Structure formats: structure tokens, C-alpha cells
């Protein structure tokens, strides 16, 4: 029975939505006969180029200016031609860190060495090497691998597997903007006049630049306020600036000011001096978890009342709060040693962002789980359910009295946000381990045997009595007939 449950668990893990770093989504091709879900990610085996299997948390590697992706796909149906076609979507070209080129290819179904040469597995092994662009920003970026193919019989299928690549060697989106080296300013243009004097020499305009900023907290949580401190510096070494007005706003409606005003006035900023602004803003609850811009519009005057305007921007990272809820698993109060019990877990993502690598584990003396329950990624508003199989052993093998009794344990649910930060929730439980139940079918048969034998002898006696009665009647009739014949002769 335990072997059958292990096989059932493997089947369940195969059909769950795929991947540690991926969220698999099936999208049938329009206008064709849909073959259903054909491909699933091989969660258990370690393929070349992977540091760990998907069930243990595989993530694409980033090194040497490129990202490497290994995606083993196992077909549940026979593929026509023994191959699939893939296309790669790298997202928005204006913000993606990847070099855009043609990554489409055909991938065949072949046997591959797995688990560091300890075994072989048959799969369509998608291997991608994505060069990273210069000037890229650090962050987490989606890569969608779309698969098209046919199964035997001609039915077509299309599936999409989205995974996330974490880039850490790029430009920090929260770093202060680099200052322009040097202090040379453009000429004001035109010549000054007055009082009949001839043309005067044009003076350079003073320049205001972002000297630095800080965001607290960072990353900024959607739906909450945050503080912003900004320093604006007069880079001129010869002129002050006057009547400086600074307006702070969000690039989109996702960021709104929370102070009494979002405009700040400074009567004068001396040469090589700076002005500081402290304000509070808020990110809307519905904001997407991605980098967002804060805009600074600066208006000021130089010598002679020359009006100058400039614009600066600050990039902040917005994250959505993680809201994971689950149905409390039901664990029996009484179990028997030698049994295998199933623990169901239903997890729901109530937040606005995606959570990654959702898994559950059981720890308790005397309980031996057959692995961890891996549910993969959960999109906003999605729910997934799975079963974790646990073998009931004994508490201690040193003595008969210590083998059975109550055991206390915990079930741990863990998951990651879009920044890779791991969160956990724990559920405590207790159960009583009883001795194994041993059935005795032979004793029951022996108890039933005398009753069966008794019923057989009764049947024989009844049959003998019936036969004896028939013979007696026939003998009596025969004697009567013989007597009548003797009387006739006399």
C-alpha cells in the first residue's frame, strides 16, 4: 500500500503547475484541436548546468555577462516527430536587461545524464544562454518560454513557462544619479545692454543637480507611506541661485504626495551650497511591484534674473505585501505505527504580487514524510492544493514502552516574494502513535470451521433419515402386497 501511495505522490507532483522558478501556464493554440496539457517540468532530476533540481529551488544562473536557463520538459503524450518548437519572450525591450536576438529553436526528445551521472532521464531539454545588455538595472525579470508541438494523431498544443531571472550585477535603481563632471555652464546667450553701454560679456547659467537622496523604508511597500530626503546642489563656483522652486511628484498616479504641499521654495542658494528637502509620499495599494520614478521639477533664477528650469528623477523599488492564507491541515488525533497518512494543504495568495517556491514540510518524532510538498509559484488571487504523505514510525526503538505515545510536531509553509525574501508560517500539531493493528484471519477461519463441520454432519443425518424413510415405506408396501397374494392362493 505504501508503494502505491508513493507512486500516487509522484503522479500528483508531476501534474502540479511546474517549476521552482517558474509558473507554468497552458495556452491552447487558437483554431486547432487542443491536445491539452502535454509537457511538465521534471522537478526531481538534476540536469547538467543546474545547481539543484527544481523541487529544491533551482534558479537560473547569472554569470559572465549572461543568464543561463535550463528547462527540462517531460511529455505526458507521444510527440509527433519527437520534438517541440520554442520561442522566447524577453519582455519590454526598453526595460529588459537582455540582448534581443532570435532565440527560437527546435528541441528534440532525448535521453540525458542526470544527477551527476548517477542516472539517465528522457526529456526535451531547453537550454538558453541570454547575453545581458550594457547599462542594465539590477532586479528580477521575467522570461517566457512558449512551446508549440503536435502529439500523435495530429492534435496541436501550446504551453508557456514563465521563469524569473535575478540580475544583481547591474546598476542599482536606488543609487543617486551621477553628477556631471566639471562646472562649465552654457552661455546665457545674447548681450546685455543698458544706460547706453555697449554689448557685455555673457555669463554662464548656474546649474542645480541632484546631490543625493534617501528613501525610508526601501523597498517601498505598496499601500504605505515612505519618507524621501533630497539634496539639491548649486554646482556653480561663481554664482548663487535665487527664487528656487522644487516640485515633487510621481511619474504615474501610483505615487502621491502625503505632506501639506509637494512644492518647496528657497529664496537663495549660495555657490557650491545645497538645499535639503524632506517630504512624505505614498504608493497606491494597486501599484505594480516594479521600479517607479519620482520626478523633481526645479525652477530658479541666475544672475540678472535669468530663468532656468531643470528636471531630475529618482527611482524607487515598489513591492507588494505578501498575503498568504491556508486551510489548516487536518492531522488525525490517533494513528497506528506502520500506516501512511495523507496531509492536505490548500494555499491561497491574497496579495497583489506573485509568490514563488511555495512548499510545505512536516517535522515530528515518529513521523517520516516521503518528501516536501512543492506547490511552485502562485499568481495573485490563485490557490493550489496538494497532498503530503507521511509514514507513521515509532518514537524510539530502544524499548517497547518508548515506541508509542503522543508526539508533537509542526508543519512549516515557506515561500518567497519577488525579491527572493523567504517567509514562513508554522502550524503546531500533536497526535498519538498507537501500536500497529495486526489482523488474524487464520483464527477466524479456525473458529468458523467447527460450525461448518457441524452443519455438514447435520445435513448427512437428515439425508440418511429421508432415504431410510423411503426404503421403509417401500418395504412395508412390498410386505403388504405379498400377504395379499398369499391370501388369494388359500
Distance (Å, whole) CA 319 – CA 401: 54
> What average pLDDT does this structure show over 424-437?
89
208-319 folds as Immunoglobulin-like (2.60.40)
Say if residue 7's pLDDT is above 50: no
Query: Is the Cα dihedral 72, 77, 83, 87 positive or negative?
Result: negative
Question: What pLDDT was estimated at residue 276?
Answer: 92
Instruction: Locate CATH 2.60.40.10 in the chain.
Output: 208-319, 324-434
Question: What pLDDT was estimated at residue 331?
Answer: 87
Cell reading at 74: 517531460
Cell reading at 156: 496541436
> What average pLDDT does this structure show over 413-433?
88
| β pairing state of 334-336 and 422-434 | parallel
pLDDT in tens, 188-232: 333 334 444 444 455 678 888 888 899 998 888 888 899 999 999
pLDDT in tens, 381-410: 899 999 999 998 888 755 556 788 889 999
Question: What pLDDT was estimated at residue 11?
Answer: 37
Question: What pLDDT was estimated at residue 447?
Answer: 55
Q: Label residue 156 by pLDDT band (50, 70, 90).
A: confident
Task: Give Dmax over CA atoms of the chain in angstroms.
Answer: 192
Cell reading at 114: 542526470
Please say whether the beta carbons of 412 and 361 come within 8 A.
yes
Distance (Å, whole) CA 45 – CA 438: 38
Distance of CA 257 to the CA centre of its chain: 34
Say if residue 316's pLDDT is above 70: yes
Say if residue 28's pLDDT is above 50: no
pLDDT in tens, 95-149: 889 998 888 899 999 999 999 999 999 999 999 999 998 888 888 889 999 999 9
Distance (Å, whole) CA 220 – CA 207: 30
Question: What pLDDT was estimated at residue 50?
Answer: 93
Question: What pLDDT was estimated at residue 134?
Answer: 86
| β pairing state of 334-336 and 355-363 | unpaired
**Length of the chain counted residue by residue:** 490
Say if residue 30's pLDDT is above 50: no
Architecture of the domain delimited by 19-167: Sandwich (2.60)
| Residues in Cβ contact with 110 at an 8 Å cutoff, skipping those fewer than 6 apart | 122, 123, 124, 125
pLDDT in tens, 229-258: 999 999 888 889 999 999 999 988 899 998
In which region does residue 154 sit, left (phi positive, over 0), alpha (psi from -120 to 50) or beta (all else)? left
Question: What pLDDT was estimated at residue 444?
Answer: 52
Q: Label residue 346 by pLDDT band (50, 70, 90).
A: very high
Residue 205 DSSP one-character state: P
324-434 folds as Immunoglobulin-like (2.60.40)
Cell reading at 363: 517535522
Say if residue 15's pLDDT is above 80: no
- 14-18, 27-31, 85-89, 202-206: which is most confident: 85-89
Question: What pLDDT was estimated at residue 57?
Answer: 83
Q: Label residue 440 by pLDDT band (50, 70, 90).
A: low
Please say whether the beta carbons of 166 and 132 come within 8 A.
no
The mean pLDDT of the chain is 80
pTM for the model: 0.43
Question: What pLDDT was estimated at residue 115?
Answer: 93
For cell 510538498, the residue is 373
Amino acid at each position: 500500500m505504501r508503494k502505491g501511495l508513493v507512486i500516487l505522490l509522484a503522479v500528483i507532483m508531476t501534474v502540479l503547475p511546474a517549476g521552482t522558478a517558474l509558473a507554468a501556464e497552458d495556452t491552447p493554440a487558437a483554431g486547432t484541436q487542443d491536445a491539452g496539457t502535454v509537457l511538465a517540468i521534471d522537478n526531481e532530476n538534476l540536469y547538467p548546468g543546474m545547481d539543484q533540481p527544481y523541487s529544491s529551488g533551482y534558479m537560473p544562473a547569472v554569470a559572465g555577462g549572461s543568464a543561463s536557463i535550463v528547462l527540462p520538459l517531460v511529455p505526458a503524450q507521444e510527440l509527433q516527430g519527437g520534438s517541440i518548437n520554442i520561442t522566447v519572450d524577453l519582455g519590454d525591450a526598453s526595460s529588459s536587461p537582455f540582448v534581443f536576438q532570435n532565440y527560437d529553436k527546435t528541441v528534440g526528445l532525448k535521453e540525458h545524464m542526470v544527477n551527476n551521472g548517477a542516472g539517465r532521464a528522457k526529456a526535451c531539454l531547453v537550454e538558453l544562454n541570454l547575453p545581458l545588455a550594457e547599462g542594465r538595472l539590477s532586479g528580477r525579470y521575467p522570461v517566457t518560454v512558449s512551446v508549440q508541438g503536435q502529439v500523435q494523431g495530429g492534435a496541436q498544443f501550446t504551453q508557456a513557462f514563465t521563469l524569473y531571472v535575478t540580475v544583481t550585477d547591474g546598476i542599482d535603481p536606488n543609487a543617486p544619479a551621477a553628477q556631471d563632471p566639471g562646472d562649465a555652464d552654457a552661455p546665457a546667450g545674447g548681450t546685455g545692454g543698458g544706460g547706453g553701454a555697449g554689448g557685455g560679456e555673457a555669463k554662464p547659467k548656474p546649474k542645480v543637480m541632484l546631490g543625493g537622496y534617501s528613501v525610508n523604508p526601501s523597498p517601498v511597500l505598496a499601500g504605505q507611506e515612505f519618507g524621501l530626503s533630497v539634496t539639491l546642489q548649486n554646482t556653480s563656483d561663481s554664482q548663487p541661485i535665487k527664487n528656487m522652486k522644487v516640485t515633487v511628484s510621481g511619474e504615474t498616479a501610483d505615487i502621491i504626495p502625503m505632506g501639506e504641499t509637494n512644492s518647496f521654495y528657497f529664496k537663495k542658494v549660495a555657490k557650491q551650497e545645497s538645499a535639503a528637502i524632506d517630504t512624505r509620499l505614498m504608493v497606491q495599494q494597486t501599484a505594480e511591484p516594479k521600479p517607479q520614478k519620482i520626478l523633481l521639477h526645479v525652477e530658479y533664477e541666475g544672475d540678472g534674473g535669468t530663468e532656468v528650469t531643470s528636471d531630475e528623477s529618482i527611482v524607487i523599488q515598489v513591492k507588494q505585501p505578501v498575503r498568504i492564507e491556508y486551510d489548516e491541515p487536518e492531522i488525525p488525533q490517533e494513528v497506528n505505527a506502520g500506516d501512511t497518512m495523507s496531509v492536505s494543504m490548500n494555499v491561497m495568495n491574497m496579495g497583489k504580487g506573485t509568490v514563488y517556491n511555495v512548499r510545505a514540510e512536516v517535522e515530528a518524532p515518529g513521523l517520516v514524510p516521503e518528501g516536501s510538498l512543492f506547490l511552485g509559484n502562485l499568481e495573485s488571487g490563485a490557490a493550489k492544493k496538494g497532498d503530503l504523505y507521511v509514514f507513521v514510525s515509532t518514537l524510539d526503538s530502544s524499548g517497547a514502552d518508548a515506541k508509542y505515545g503522543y508526539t508533537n510536531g509542526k508543519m512549516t509553509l515557506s515561500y518567497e516574494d519577488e525579491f527572493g525574501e523567504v517567509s514562513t508560517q508554522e502550524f503546531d500539531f500533536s497526535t498519538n502513535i498507537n501500536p500497529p493493528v495486526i489482523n488474524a484471519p487464520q483464527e477466524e477461519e479456525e473458529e468458523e470451521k467447527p460450525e461448518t463441520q457441524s452443519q455438514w454432519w447435520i445435513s448427512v443425518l437428515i439425508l440418511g433419515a429421508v432415504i431410510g424413510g423411503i426404503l421403509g415405506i417401500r418395504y412395508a408396501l412390498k410386505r403388504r402386497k405379498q400377504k395379499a397374494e398369499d391370501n388369494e392362493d388359500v
